[in-house]
Amino acid sequence: MKAKIIAITALASVSLRLNAQKLNYTPDLVLGHRSYTYMHNVNYYFNDRLKLNNLTLFDTEYTKDKENIFFIRNTLAYNLTKRFSVNAALGMKNPGAFFSAFVQYRIAKPTYSLSYSIGTTYQKGFSLEQSVSFEYTPYLKENLQGYFSVLAIGNIDDNGYPRGLQFIRLGVKQDKIMYGMASNFDQFNNAKKTLENVGAFVKYNF
């Protein structure tokens, strides 16, 4: 039942009519050996400085719901400068609701982007959360680019390392579509529990 509610929430969050100047939607689907993963980013730009982002992740095994992973976060970001922003977020992830506040540094160039964020997350206690995202799209020929991306997120608290993940994508990009090989790695409770998922991905920039 919880899986159905999360899936409906994920679809509902992108049901708004897209406005090319204010709203963009980027879904990412992975078909792996253990599970399938749906992830998206939806960005709504109020103006040059203020943005609302919805990040939704839903990972479920093919035959059972025991290892389902979900993450839904709504973030309000304000750009202090071209590269620095302050952010406040509310969301839900295993095992419940959370609140985050963080600062982010981002560089965006035609063939690569890099962002780093650091802040605090409250979910049954405070933790220090850091994340790094890197994307590289070198030109291979006129209408074809390579595609490499890494997303890594980690939380540290008084008890150690409660949650971490690393997503890696390697493939090609043609116009707005990207596809290739994917690896997802998740760690829980000081890595006492780990999950891996390796397979193929397709991603599209609307």
pLDDT in tens, 27-47: 999 999 999 999 999 999 999
pLDDT exceeds 80 at position 9: no
pLDDT in tens, 58-68: 999 988 777 88
User: Quick one: pLDDT at residue 128?
Assistant: 97
Query: Are 28 and 203 contacting, i.e. CB atoms less than 8 angstroms apart?
Result: yes
Sorted by sequence, the CB contacts under 8 Å of residue 60 that are 6+ apart come out as: 3, 35, 36, 68, 69
User: Quick one: pLDDT at residue 94?
Assistant: 81
Rounded CA separation 76/86 (Å): 8
Measured in residues, the chain has a length of 206
- What are the angstrom distances between the C-alpha of 187 and each of 86, 155, 167? 27, 10, 12
pLDDT exceeds 60 at position 83: yes
Angle at 174 between CA 169 and CA 179, to 5 degrees: 30
User: Quick one: pLDDT at residue 12?
Assistant: 47
pLDDT exceeds 60 at position 132: yes
Mean pLDDT of 173-194: 94
Instruction: Please give the CATH superfamily to which domain 20-204 belongs.
Output: monomeric porin ompg (2.40.160.40)
User: Quick one: pLDDT at residue 19?
Assistant: 53
